[in-house]
Structure 1
């Protein structure tokens, strides 16, 4: 016999499982992001040999060109999501990525490989915008941080899966440039296997409910109420819909013009999001994952050891992301970012210092004393601090810091900025490395220090806030919302200061 209240507890548990389930489904787009980001890691040397890429700058461009596609995909994803819905954009992204996987795997030259990589980038850019927006819109505020962190968890799992599959394929063939199955080299199969997660993502997206905020914006209150009740666990559905309507003009289409403001042409909150995205990339995290095999070779590892070490690093990234998921709703977003910036500054400084005691270049770097150990410890400490803080928390903040009226477009601009920054860092690393790895990691160290200053002065704490409480005209001072000249509508009193 059930006790009073037990049925409600069961219902809550069932509803929580449902919102977790649909959040995981949406976050699979992050898996594609992570997979594509690192699959090139195992193929880059073979691509250089196959297509005769002797110029470091051009080789960097070939590696990074997918990121330009990501920027374009992210830029247009918001407007497409507002017009056609979040789910249709997810399905479109899955189709594009599926096509890109086969095109890249069967590329006959460097130019068509670049084309297929750009198409894949369009898919990843779109998915990177839609997933955090969708998760933020279906999640109860109490669990929004944890659910939003699933995006980063999917990314790091994608990185791990790509590095592991690259290693398995290379080992099976006896080398990435060796034939594996059906007369195709192993490096080609590294791209082809990406079709599998693309297919899974597309099928999962077809089973997801549409975002209640999109449905309200389109006037479908009945369907929105069903999603809120069945998936988000809302008990006072009508009140929630009224709250959404209070921040959405159902007759007004969102556009990039909505982001205009008095701070250098944009609203202050948009600049905060853009700089969050830029700093997340300018600390150099993707150098570790795009060029990690080359990095480990530079400290004396052979090819197999370098692959294995890169895979272990990605496993570490997965573990610390779990820690972030457990902490983000307890201690808040801002404190995690401050901790992360401090840790990254120290660990990147260790790497820069270690390489200042090295001689040689490329795969022929040699260290004096035990500085190679310092470089390895610094690199892994950097991954730990990034993975537990800036990796997941930035995506959480981007998904929740914008008000409903500009969420999709604001997130699109911020994500586009992130991809452009990613492109710049990825393409410049070979040039930086030619100057010297001390210079490269010194640059990333300075960026980590600037990110610490930026978070302290400009990033607000959003833990526990309802999305309807976000306001696009406020400014931020030392992590608190500050009243702007246009008023403070929609902001809790305890988040304002003089």
Structure 2
């Protein structure tokens, strides 16, 4: 039976994960409005290049927000402020897009830039907040909801769009405006809940050295005082060592271990978007128009796709901490590659009717294969990339590094989505052969390069990449015996006990014996 603190840990993590609903909704809303004849007429039938540009300016806003503002805001003002700032900007941008003057595609694009900027900021703070408050042995499960909520955003958007498509005569131009303005719902809810959530202990200690606030935050999400004291000590030891390194952007390049992580994470995050999922999210309406003629049928398929996306992402909850990150990424990459290969072959090697549609069996096969692609993508390159990226960096560079890595998704997305509409128009489903090859290459990259991070403590992550253990180094700097030294003195009796959960009490007793004055700030005067 889960404890009250564990339930609360899940609750605050899910609120933070709801930032991903913003991303999922907006990635789908532009896809949806492209299927509205009223939207096309309202903005004077944009060309394929303009369609790509409207999508690209969103990613440019996200890149600027994530690269240059997300990290500093999360570090200086806190993770909660970062999420709140992003939500406010999304609400403002939603109104700008909804009430753009007729024919003013520039105003609509300005709203897209602002919404991308806001999401770029929120998507840096959200996974950091979850990673810094979740216990390591369930961190993967909780972080899997980050990608799940992307699917929730798509789910809401596509079903709203489908409902509006059923009442076009009554709604008129509001068939697309209703889809756009509905985006204010989730950021409003997040803004209402954020003030009542704790900050992260790592931020309290790193920013102001506020031990009491850090301890109070941990008490709200840990079951015992022993767990709180043990984790608080480990965080402080790690931060003490990190002070000796650097907390600026230069640390990303000076430390070979961090530099290695950054390069691997860049490839994985860019790879997430060039699997083909980024193009499917943005242009599935255009893709299905090559197979189906009925706009409502396309809207329904998009809505069902988003629904299945939620179900498929739930697979990450029970697989990511059981089988590990690396296994999921390899299986997902191979599975997606085969789906794209077969899908491209089925569409390009079968006849098209005079009306421009495929036969019913071929259409069903294509839809099935694209749904199967989502089945492989969601728990692997969808959820697991976010989990892996948010947990591999140490506190001194985490906000900057996660922000930069997350925006590599938008860099890749911007490049691919700019040329994909034209590519699709000229080459059709032959474009999918490219995605098939990319996915196989990504699976090979993970197999040979990416280490497993399952159930590794955040403060000990550096050792996987050839770096130093921040807890041990911090303890040495402060003049306290390391855990290895203490264990050796006791004959190694507790070596197997210092684990994620069972070892909390033992570790707390050891640290209390050596560091009583240090843990209790009142004794410092």
Q: Does 1:386 align with 2:377?
A: yes
Measure, in 1, the Cα distance between the counterparts of 2:345 and 2:46: 29
Q: State the 1:251 CA deviation.
A: 6.1
Q: Does 1:215 align with 2:204?
A: yes
Deviation readout 1:294-353 (Å, 9 max, x if unpaired): 222321241111111111111111101111112111111111111101110110111221
Give the count of matched residue pairs.
466
Q: State the 1:237 CA deviation.
A: 2.0
Alpha carbons 1:358, 1:365 under 8 Å: kept: no
Q: How do 1:144-183 and structure 2 match up within 5 A?
A: 144-174=139-169, 179-180=171-172
Q: State the 1:150 CA deviation.
A: 1.2
Q: How do 1:249-288 and structure 2 match up within 5 A?
A: 249=240, 254-261=247-254, 267-288=259-280
Alpha carbons 1:25, 1:208 under 8 Å: kept: no
**Secondary structure at 1:256 match in 2:** coil
Match of 1:467 in 2: 458
Q: State the 1:291 CA deviation.
A: 1.8
Match of 1:245 in 2: 236
Measure, in 1, the Cα distance between the counterparts of 2:48 and 2:105: 14
Alpha carbons 1:57, 1:427 under 8 Å: kept: yes
Q: Which moved more, 1:14-23 or 1:47-56?
A: 47-56
Alpha carbons 1:347, 1:381 under 8 Å: kept: yes
Unaligned stretches of 5+ residues in structure 1: 1-8, 475-480
Match of 1:478 in 2: none
Inter-CA distance 258–135: structure 2 relative to 1 (3 Å threshold): same
Q: 1:413 aligns with which of 404, 411, 423?
A: 404
Q: 1:127 aligns with which of 122, 125, 133?
A: 122
Alpha carbons 2:93, 2:114 under 8 Å: kept: yes
Measure, in 2, the Cα distance between the counterparts of 1:324 and 1:458: 22
Q: Which moved more, 1:400-409 or 1:271-280?
A: 400-409
Alpha carbons 2:83, 2:123 under 8 Å: kept: no
Q: 1:68 aligns with which of 39, 47, 60?
A: 60
Match of 1:396 in 2: 387
Q: 1:300 aligns with which of 292, 296, 310?
A: 292
Measure, in 2, the Cα distance between the counterparts of 1:489 and 1:128: 26
Q: Highest CA radius of gyration, 1 or 2?
A: 2
Alpha carbons 2:293, 2:357 under 8 Å: kept: no
Alpha carbons 2:22, 2:119 under 8 Å: kept: yes
Q: Which moved more, 1:289-298 or 1:117-126?
A: 289-298
Inter-CA distance 18–327: structure 2 relative to 1 (3 Å threshold): same
Inter-CA distance 482–189: structure 2 relative to 1 (3 Å threshold): closer
Measure, in 1, the Cα distance between the counterparts of 2:343 and 2:357: 14
Q: Does 1:56 align with 2:48?
A: yes
Q: State the 1:261 CA deviation.
A: 4.2
Deviation readout 1:397-439 (Å, 9 max, x if unpaired): 1111112221111101101111111222222210210231233
Measure, in 2, the Cα distance between the counterparts of 1:173 and 1:356: 34
Q: State TM-score, norm by structure 1.
A: 0.88
Deviation readout 1:245-277 (Å, 9 max, x if unpaired): 2222586873321211487x9701001111110
Q: How do 1:83-232 and structure 2 match up within 5 A?
A: 83-108=76-101, 109-174=104-169, 179-180=171-172, 184-218=173-207, 219-232=209-222
Alpha carbons 1:357, 1:371 under 8 Å: kept: no
Unaligned stretches of 5+ residues in structure 2: 473-482, 485-494, 496-525
Q: State TM-score, norm by structure 2.
A: 0.83
Inter-CA distance 413–115: structure 2 relative to 1 (3 Å threshold): same
Q: 2:344 aligns with which of 327, 346, 352?
A: 352
**Secondary structure at 1:463 match in 2:** coil
